[in-house]
Structure 1
Amino acid sequence: MKSLGRWLTVPWRRGLAAVFAGALPVLAFPAPSLWWWAWGALVPWLLLVRSAPTGRRAMYDGWCGGFGFMLAMHHWLLPSLHVFTFVLAALLGALWAPWGRLVRRLLGGAPTAGRVAAALVVVPSGWLVIELVRSWQGLGGPWGVLGASQWQVAPALRVASVGGVWLVGFLIVAVNTAVAVLVAVRPARVPAVAALAATAAVGSAAWVGSPPPSPSGTGDRVRIAVVQAGVVAGAGSPARRFDREEALTRRLAGQDVDLVVWGESSVGFDLGDRPDLARRLAALTRETGADVLVNVDARRSDRPGIFKSSVLVGPDGPTGDRYDKMRLVPFGEYVPARSLLGWATSVGKAAGEDRRRGTEQVLMDAGDGLRVGPMVCFESAFPDMSRHLAEDGAEVLLAQSSTSTFQESWAPAQHASLGALRAAETGRPMVHATLTGVSAVYDAGGAPVGPRLGTGTSGARVYEVPLAQGTTPYVRFGDWPPYAALGVLVVWGAAEGVRTVRLRRRASGPRVPPARTAHGSAARPGR
């Protein structure tokens, strides 16, 4: 340990160690999906930051760790954004600089039991506020929030139904903080053990107090088919992709399907400009006996600009139900502050023209009274969007997605895993239908329904999706954990301010006037 401490006294070595320590939690996410790793992956970073010689150095360690975390989480963007990926990681990583200062303040040196007890609440709260800030769509959205690493863990999904992915993330950071205390702060182990017990108690309370969603009143199941075209490259690919999707959909005839869902950008032409395609889609609905939800990525004939839109088609053509994507992928679908950052298009595959945004979420009637709530790609990362759809009465959540640009990376599996979180949070089944994989379906508790369609698959699969009723605490109360965390930081900051003022007053002490002589003049020392 002493030799490691000496090695870390060199600034660049310490910074490099922080970058690697910050990247460690990414192994808990798909594709590695080592979910258990998340519960201790932050410990090396926490131990490094608490040992920082100064507060400024702790902030730098936090920044470097945040850079490593963001770069590892988004490494699959490198072929598209090239050097700009490092710029984005550095900008977002700066959010962890104050967190580094916070960790050192509470855990540095020989902390008292009181400071450790505070750290077990304040440090996770600081992390949660960072995730809240970076979840703003303009900063890239909530991709890779820590709680999402637990997408396949049933107890964690039950916790998500109470406080969303946010509460799961808070508990993960709390456990990591407690483990770091057990490793490095021996005199204050009692609060750490208490924190571990409290985490187990919260998980148990969520399990008992938030039962899984109950089946709908009639025990209904709906049969939803996912059509995944697979990779179609080369000249004329939009037309050839449509032909393949049409052929795959025809195979569903006679299978008693209630709804057919195509992936994002499955139709590359505006249906108003191409009535021939609208007629072909209408014919498919008559053959299969089910409406078809397609996704149009094209310049609109009735409005200026390019939109990505979920469009429902029935036996007579488009039904009029249309949802225009509201939250666009930075650089992929628009360039933020294009006048300033437009140069990104010259060094990577950033959008040459900004897509236009929709203005509101919609529910669609997919026939036989089935109400579905569509989202497009990136939007399934936002917990609030699926929550609002569930509040408005959606029985099934749908996400039409495409990660074909990142086909051989971790991105498709990461994206598909988000459906489990959204289903568990809302108590509604979720269908994640993609253009080239990974497509997946989850029940109202977040458990998978049937096998996935992987990135090497071109085909159609029918899923029997059980409907559910009831309202989860997360839908009822919303994003309360990050705002509670913000309140914790405000209270702690105020308490620290009062404490600092008191210490300064004690240090200055009362002013004692000098002694006076018989003639009234002040006595001087040594005279």
Structure 2
Amino acid sequence: MKARLLALGAGAVSGLLMYAAFPPAEAMQLGWLAPAPLLLACRRTGPGLAFMSGLACGLTFWLFSLSWITHVTFAGWLILSAACALLVAGFAAAASDLSRRLKGMPAENMLLMIGWPALWVGVETIRTQLGFSWNALGVSQYRNLGLIQCAAWGGVGVVSFILVLVSSALALTFERYMAQGRCCARRPSFELMAAALVLAAAVLGGNRTLRGLAQSRTNLRAAIVQPNIPQVQKWSDEFIDFIYGRLDSGTRAALRAPGLDIVVWPETATPDFLRYSTSSWALVSALLTNGVPMLIGSMDAEFQPGDSMAPQAAFGQGRPARRGPERYFNVSMLFEPGVEEPRVYDKQHLVIFGEYIPFEEIMPFFRNLTPIETSFSPGSGSACFPVPGRGHLISPLICFEDTLPWLARAAVRSGARLLVNQTNDAWFDESAASRQHMSHCVFRCVENRVPAIRAANTGVSCVIDRTGAVRDRISRVGPGAEQADFLVADLWVPPADMPLTFYSRTGDALGLGCVVIWLAFALLRTRLFPGSPER
């Protein structure tokens, strides 16, 4: 019983340390220590008890760090947290099994210092490939610019690897000290020395990269409009004029800045389907007379053939709406002065229970778990829009799409040199969700060496350069904003012929390699590492 309580307690402590490393606390130094208690439990117990320790760690971390999901769905918060916790539990069981099988080998600790981080990164990669890449351990270091430059080689997984490597060294050194007492204190810790060498190489290389990428020139001036519309007002007919007023006043204030190349609105900025709304189209047309292109988040629909209802004119020449919408889309539209039709990007990765209801035809009761009335349809691929007059190719990433590394990578490989994240984080106001969300965009910039613009309805709107530094920022969370905010920023967009990073070329090779290694270990462990079954 005592061993079980200690294992569960160690897992819970690791979960709390991990939670504290991310927003809202953002004590990123704790990210280096967080895995250590769990690893010690894995070292001292068998796989079964280690699984329970990992489950305690995962539940503690995910239930706290994802608590903002309760603003939308309580059941979804519990289900998602439990699913992520099971992956942490699986890591702990495998980590314990590896430790048991390496017992007595001459280089046991050094092998663990490679195996445990590789397993951790493999588990994070599996979660990412399943579509939820939120809060990988390495993301906690998003403000540590010298360290995170290595993400250009292997994504956020490289940073996670280094953190778990250091934590493994701390855990193994602590274990040896407790077992051998004072005599151990007089002996050097080869585990800490090895971890320090890896860390030093990463940080020194990162700082060298930062000096090489220092850029004083700018070649694009962008304005971000943050309307600060509370979620309870966004889809109410009573507040439509209020929303138009916020968008109009914020944009006109931004347009006073000379030399603007583009204005960016957040996700679903208009309170209707812009393509078919007379009011929204009139507002956009009036603002376009200033001669500045606008990237606007809205909703869109495809209609079935039928008799014309024509309740509202479409833009341009009044193309009629059709009876019976067939599919809905969450879109980003680039409007150019003098051009009738906008360029349109349809969001590819939809949020479960937020933008689509799984199995809604055969399990209609799922609709009770979400505030949405019907599902959106996903887009088919990335889009690259040229900025008129500049030629830079930009690629929109809507809502949580910037948390998925392969979407940003695909956009850059298609020619995009500026990422634009348009989001509505008002769903989760007065929580850490917006800051957690923004931290992932930092890594998309470092991985691909391109800057990003982040336009939010509320929360954090900012510009991030290609080193991951947040250069300009609006931060407003919660109700009480009396006006729209705007930000005018100058940034450097790299040329079309810039060399792609290793990550842009190869993707999550590190993470997938870790998954393959651990699958091989699971199949061959009894042959390769006989181990001691009683441990």
Tell me the TM-score range normalised by the shorter chain: 0.7 to 0.9
Shift of 1:66: 1.9
Shift of 1:124: 1.0
CA contact 1:440–1:452 (8 Å) conserved in 2: yes
> Does residue 165 in structure 1 map to residue 168 in structure 2?
no
Shift of 1:14: 4.6
User: Which position in structure 2 is the counterpart of 1:223?
Assistant: 221
Task: Decide which of 394, 401, 414 is 2:423's aligned counterpart.
Answer: 401
User: Which position in structure 2 is the counterpart of 1:133?
Assistant: 126
User: Which position in structure 1 is the counterpart of 2:316?
Assistant: none
- The one-letter code of the counterpart of 1:420 is V
> Does residue 385 in structure 1 map to residue 407 in structure 2?
yes
CA contact 1:282–1:316 (8 Å) conserved in 2: no
CA contact 2:268–2:298 (8 Å) conserved in 1: yes
Going from structure 1 to structure 2, the CA distance change for 1:467 and 1:503 (only over 3 Å counts) comes to closer
Task: Decide which of 26, 30, 34 is 1:33's aligned counterpart.
Answer: 26
User: Which position in structure 1 is the counterpart of 2:377?
Assistant: 356
> Does residue 331 in structure 1 map to residue 331 in structure 2?
no
Going from structure 1 to structure 2, the CA distance change for 1:191 and 1:461 (only over 3 Å counts) comes to closer
> Does residue 307 in structure 1 map to residue 307 in structure 2?
no
> Aligned with 1:135: secondary structure?
helix
> Aligned with 2:289: secondary structure?
helix
1:251-270 equivalent positions in 2, closer than 5 A:
251-255=253-257, 256-270=259-273
Shift of 1:382: 0.9
Going from structure 1 to structure 2, the CA distance change for 1:453 and 1:257 (only over 3 Å counts) comes to farther
Shift of 1:107: 3.8
1-side partners of 2:9 and 2:191: how far apart? Answer: 31
User: Which position in structure 2 is the counterpart of 1:185?
Assistant: 176
Q: Deviations over 1:53-84 (max 9, x none)?
A: x3211122222322222222211112322244
Task: Decide which of 94, 99, 108 is 1:102's aligned counterpart.
Answer: 94
1-side partners of 2:530 and 2:155: how far apart? Answer: 38
> Aligned with 1:62: secondary structure?
helix
Shift of 1:310: 0.1
Shift of 1:42: 1.3
* Structure 2 stretches lacking a partner, 5+ long: 304-321
> Does residue 200 in structure 1 map to residue 193 in structure 2?
no
> Does residue 272 in structure 1 map to residue 293 in structure 2?
no
Shift of 1:336: 2.8
User: Which position in structure 2 is the counterpart of 1:282?
Assistant: 285
266-275 or 436-445, which deviates more: 266-275
CA contact 2:28–2:140 (8 Å) conserved in 1: yes
Shift of 1:445: 1.1
> Aligned with 2:160: secondary structure?
helix
User: Which position in structure 1 is the counterpart of 2:436?
Assistant: 414
Shift of 1:15: 3.5
Task: Decide which of 449, 453, 462 is 2:488's aligned counterpart.
Answer: 462
- The one-letter code of the counterpart of 2:88 is W
* Structure 1 stretches lacking a partner, 5+ long: 1-5, 505-527
CA contact 2:54–2:89 (8 Å) conserved in 1: yes
1-side partners of 2:10 and 2:170: how far apart? Answer: 19
- The one-letter code of the counterpart of 1:204 is L
> Aligned with 1:282: secondary structure?
helix
149-158 or 54-63, which deviates more: 54-63
- The one-letter code of the counterpart of 2:270 is V
User: Which position in structure 2 is the counterpart of 1:433?
Assistant: 455
1-side partners of 2:425 and 2:23: how far apart? Answer: 14
Q: Rg larger in 1 or in 2?
A: 1
1-side partners of 2:363 and 2:47: how far apart? Answer: 33
Going from structure 1 to structure 2, the CA distance change for 1:199 and 1:271 (only over 3 Å counts) comes to same
Going from structure 1 to structure 2, the CA distance change for 1:90 and 1:284 (only over 3 Å counts) comes to same
Shift of 1:137: 4.9
> Aligned with 1:316: secondary structure?
coil
> Aligned with 1:32: secondary structure?
coil
> Aligned with 2:487: secondary structure?
strand
1-side partners of 2:79 and 2:524: how far apart? Answer: 36
Shift of 1:395: 2.2
2-side partners of 1:204 and 1:488: how far apart? Answer: 29
CA contact 1:158–1:212 (8 Å) conserved in 2: no
Shift of 1:155: 1.2
- The one-letter code of the counterpart of 1:253 is L
> Aligned with 1:445: secondary structure?
coil
User: Which position in structure 1 is the counterpart of 2:248?
Assistant: 246
Q: Deviations over 1:360-408 (max 9, x none)?
A: 1110122111211111011010111111212222121100001101110
1-side partners of 2:155 and 2:148: how far apart? Answer: 8
Q: CA RMSD in A?
A: 2.8
Task: Decide which of 169, 176, 180 is 2:167's aligned counterpart.
Answer: 176
CA contact 2:472–2:489 (8 Å) conserved in 1: yes
User: Which position in structure 2 is the counterpart of 1:509?
Assistant: none
User: Which position in structure 1 is the counterpart of 2:501?
Assistant: 472
Going from structure 1 to structure 2, the CA distance change for 1:497 and 1:15 (only over 3 Å counts) comes to same
CA contact 2:332–2:396 (8 Å) conserved in 1: yes
CA contact 1:440–1:451 (8 Å) conserved in 2: yes
Shift of 1:33: 1.4
- The one-letter code of the counterpart of 2:275 is G
224-233 or 195-204, which deviates more: 195-204
Shift of 1:290: 1.1
Shift of 1:479: 1.4
Shift of 1:273: 1.6
1-side partners of 2:272 and 2:22: how far apart? Answer: 35
Q: Deviations over 1:161-180 (max 9, x none)?
A: 22211111111111111111
Going from structure 1 to structure 2, the CA distance change for 1:114 and 1:336 (only over 3 Å counts) comes to farther
